[in-house]
Every structure is written in C-alpha cells, then in structure tokens.
Chains A and B, each alone.
Chain A
Amino acid sequence: MNKSRSRTIGLLSVLIGVGLWELCSQLFFNPLFLPPPSAVWARFLELVADGTLAEDISVSAQSYGLGLVVAIVVGVLTGVAMASSRFIRDVLDPWVSALNATPTIALAPLFILILGLGVESKVAICAIVMLFPILVNTYYGFSMTDQQLVEAAQAYAATPWQSYVKIKLPMALPSVIAGLRLAAAHGLVGVVVSELFGARAGIGLLIQTSAETFDTRALFVGICLLGIVGVGITYILIAVERRIGRWRVAQEESA
C-alpha cells in the first residue's frame, strides 16, 4: 500500500520533471544548450537508425564488463585472503587503505600512457575504479563472521571447507553484494572518463564529440543513457541484496 504510493509519487515526479524540462527549453532556453526531451528522443532514434549508438554501447559495455570481471576476481580473492590470513592483511592493509582513499580515476591518464588508447587501458581504468569497493567490502564481510556460528559448525564436525561455504560465505555475501553495488556506479564513471581521452567508439566518446560539434541533443542521449543504465544496475543489485540479505534485515528489525 505505502510502497505503491511511494512508487506512484516517484513516477509522477519524473513525468512532471520531464514535462517542465520540455516546457522550459521550448519557452525560455536556447535549445542549443538545453534541447527539449522531444528533440533528444528524435536524435536518439536517428542514432539508433544509423547504427552508431549500438556500436557505442557495445564498445562501452565491453570495457565495463571486462573491467567488472577483473575487479570481481581480484577484489574477492584479495578480500578473502586478507580476511583469512593475518600476515596477508598486515602486508596489504597500508596499500589497500591508501588506494581506497585515493580517487583512483586520477590514475586514468597514467593507464592510457602505459597501455595506449586501445581497449586495454579502458578495461584497466574500469577495473581499478571498481576494484576497491569490492575488495574492501569482501574483506569486511569475511572478517565480521560470527565465531559462535563457526564453532557450532565445528561441533557438528564440519570440514574447514564446509564451514567456509555453509557458514562464512552466506554470512559475508550481503556485504560483498553491497560492495558490488558501489562498484557498479563507480564503473560507469570509469568507462566515460576512459573514453574522454580518445576512443574508436563508446558512450564517453559520443558525449565528447557531440559537445565539440555543438550536437547537444546527442550529448543528452549519452547522458540519459548512462543515467538509465546506472539506475537499472542499482535496482537489480538492490533486489539481489534484499533477497540474499533478507534474514539480516529481519534480524535487525526484531532486535
């Protein structure tokens, strides 16, 4: 009841906002700087029709996807290793803390210098900005495991592997997913920035070149697309988080 009411209000807010935008750019603003949504939509259809948008999306999605895979593999493995071994944690902790506090997007020019303008540098930039949220949250999740439950498993003669998979992993999973959600948003920044420095195709390139040619309608196509993808990914991961971490929320509510 309350939930559907909130949803209706949210939807109305978006519709009214888009309506106001349309009205303002028709009446008050120079459509060159703020094109109305109708014009953006028309440009979107043009870009779909000539195939450039599909190309841009697929190139960006490739960098993003590969970067995400690298970040997940490296982040989860390192996080788990740091949580399981005091020595590994002591060795890596200063580096992880320092890099996590640094806006890693600042490393983008360096990666392009080293790896060139190809897909490698873009994957690397996406990976580095997505790595730390995943790593830190994985480490946190696995080091916060309830020792009493681990001991209970031990009392039931669980092997170390069984107690990892059936006790520690489910306990850490909500935290890992929360890290993934943060990373997903960081990754969109990463992919756009990596393409601003020069690329064959991509959403970042679309935004860059349309600004240079005063094609603000195409620029808005790029921005809106990023916004929609960002919201979509966040929604999916929140749904996964809710499903996996239902017990956690319920436990907090009943406490």
Chain B
Amino acid sequence: MSTGTEPTGTSPTGSASPAKLHIDHLGKTFHRKGSEVQALQGIDLEIEAGQFVSFVGASGCGKSTLLRLVDGLIQPTSGTVRLDGKEVHGAGTDRAFVFQQDRLLPWRTIERNVVLGLEFQGTPKAERLAKARELLQLVGIPKFATAYPHELSGGMRQRANIARALAVDPDVLLMDEPFAALDGQTREIMQSELVRIWQQNQKTVLFVTHQIDEAVLLSDRIIVLTARPGRVKADIHIDLPRPRDLASKRSAAFIAYLDRIWGLIEEEVRESMELELSNAD
C-alpha cells in the first residue's frame, strides 16, 4: 500500500500544496428518461490528509454523488478528482466506501465479509484472517467473527461494514450516511467509536450526513452544499477541542455552529422542497 505522497508538481495547476485530495471544477449531469438532471456543478475543494470533512445540504443536493465521484463508482461530466496528484478514473484500493446499508454478503460470515476487499486484491489467506481479527477487535465485535450478518443487530453490522472498509487500508474513507439507518442511541455510540477509530488510523474521511449535530461533533471541517445543482455554499472549519463528547454538544460554541449551519441550509431546503413539489405536478 502506497502511503507516500506523489509529487504534486505534475498537476496542471502546478500548486505545491500538501493537499491529499484535489477536486477541480467537478460537475455531474444525469440523463434520466430523456431529461437532464444536473446534480453537481463547479465543485472546487482541497482536502488535507487526515482531515475529517463532512458534507451537509438539502436532500438531492448531490452529496452522495460527490462521494461516488471521488470513489470512481461514477465518472464526472466535467472537472477532475485527483488523489495524491493522480486523477481518479475508477474504484481503487486507496479509497474505501461505507454505504448507508451495510451491504454485507449474507452467505458469508462476518470475518469473511471483512476480508472481501483483500480477497479481490489477492492477499494470502493467513494474512487476510489476521487482518480480519485485528479489525474486528478495533471496531469492537471480535466475538462475532464467525457469525452471519443476519445474526447481528444493525449497529453491529455497520461496525463490520466499517471494518471491511478499513481492511483494505485505504488512505481515504468515504462514508455515505453510515449511521442514518440506526436508532438514536446506537448512532451516538457509533459516532464516538468512529472518532476513536479515525484518531487511531489517521485516515482522511469524507462523511455525508443529514444530521447537522453529527457533522459538527465529528468534523474538522464542514462543507455546506446548495440545493440542486450542488455547489459549495460554505466551507466551515470547526474549532472545537477534541475529544468531544455529549457534553460538548451543550456548549455555546457547538450550538453557535449548529445555528450558523442550519441558517445556511434552511433556505436551500425550502428551495429543494419547492423544486420537488413543482416536479411532482
């Protein structure tokens, strides 16, 4: 696994910035039933290695689309995504995607699910198993190694899903509303677990969520997107000390961030709701 940074001198912009991820003029238009839907337009971002960045915005603003573009699951209509200076063209092992639904293979045990990515890479079996044990330990479910997904609760399955993503030792972790399907209490536990794991691994995390408080609690930086087509509306650095816990959620600074971000999103949400209503006619 290459962890060294590629020389950025080869980039067309020629900047010598240390950013891990460069997103330049990124746009995506979908063609559905003869009509065009512009999901994203002119996204410019630089994300540093090890940063925890959340994306928030009204539903349908293209947050998930942005994550899929960075993962290479879909191709951009315009612009580029560069990771360590190299343009992204397809899925790669330097990135891993955590879907909202756990998407574990129901016929495989948890440990055999966790090693799926390593299996695709051709990692030897003994090494794969050792990695699975290590990661199940890290995400706190070592006892469920030989259980099947249907025997686990939603929260446990999502832990396994995160372990599967970490198993390929990616530089960048892409998380698309990973906790949205969980109940409130499980979600809070998973949030603090994620921060613990992130601090141990120093991965770059791109995190999509609907919950503003979740974004503020977890992130170094929050990108607010406009309603469709999604553009960067605001880029906010969260200067709250870590570790953050439930008590920090009641601090004046935390609430000030919530109010500010909600203020930015509110009009976009209204706009996107009106858009949906007019489309429904």
Which range contains the number of A residues in contact with the other chain?
A: 20 to 34
In Å, the complex CA distance between A153 and B105 comes to 10
Which residues of chain B from 38 to 58 have any CB-CB distance to chain A below 8 Å in the complex? none
Report the minimal beta-carbon distance from A221 to chain B, rounded to whole angstroms.
43
Which residues of chain B from 84 to 103 have any CB-CB distance to chain A below 8 Å in the complex? 90-93, 96-97, 99, 101, 103
Residue of A151, A156, A162, A166 most packed against chain B (CB within 10 A) = A156
B105-A157 in contact (CB<8A):
no
* A2 / chain B contacts, CB cutoff of 8 Å: none
Report the minimal beta-carbon distance from A82 to chain B, rounded to whole angstroms.
24
Q: A151-B73, A251-B150, A254-B150 are in contact. Are A156 and B107 (CB under 8 A)?
A: no
B105-A170 in contact (CB<8A):
yes
- Judged by a CB distance under 8 angstroms, whether A114 is at the interface is no
Chain B at the A interface: SS class: loop
Residue in contact with A250 in the complex, picked from B96, B116, B148, CB distance below 8 Å: B148
Which residues of chain B from 157 to 181 have any CB-CB distance to chain A below 8 Å in the complex? 164, 168
Residue in contact with B103 in the complex, picked from A149, A157, A159, CB distance below 8 Å: A149
- Judged by a CB distance under 8 angstroms, whether B266 is at the interface is no
> Chain A interface: which of B117-125, B197-205, B212-220, B235-243?
B117-125
B116-A156 in contact (CB<8A):
yes
* Interface mask (A131-164 → B, CB under 8 Å = 1, otherwise 0): 0000000000000000011011111111100100
B150-A155 in contact (CB<8A):
no
In Å, the complex CA distance between A158 and B91 comes to 9
Report the minimal beta-carbon distance from B88 to chain A, rounded to whole angstroms.
12
- Judged by a CB distance under 8 angstroms, whether A95 is at the interface is no
In Å, the complex CA distance between A247 and B93 comes to 29
Between-chain CB contacts (< 8 Å), 22 pairs = A148-B103, A151-B73, A152-B99, A153-B120, A154-B73, A154-B91, A155-B73, A155-B97, A155-B99, A156-B120, A156-B164, A156-B168, A157-B93, A157-B117, A157-B120, A162-B120, A170-B105, A248-B106, A250-B148, A250-B151, A251-B150, A254-B151
9 closest A-B pairs by CB: A156-B117, A247-B107, A152-B103, A155-B97, A247-B106, A157-B91, A158-B120, A254-B150, A251-B150
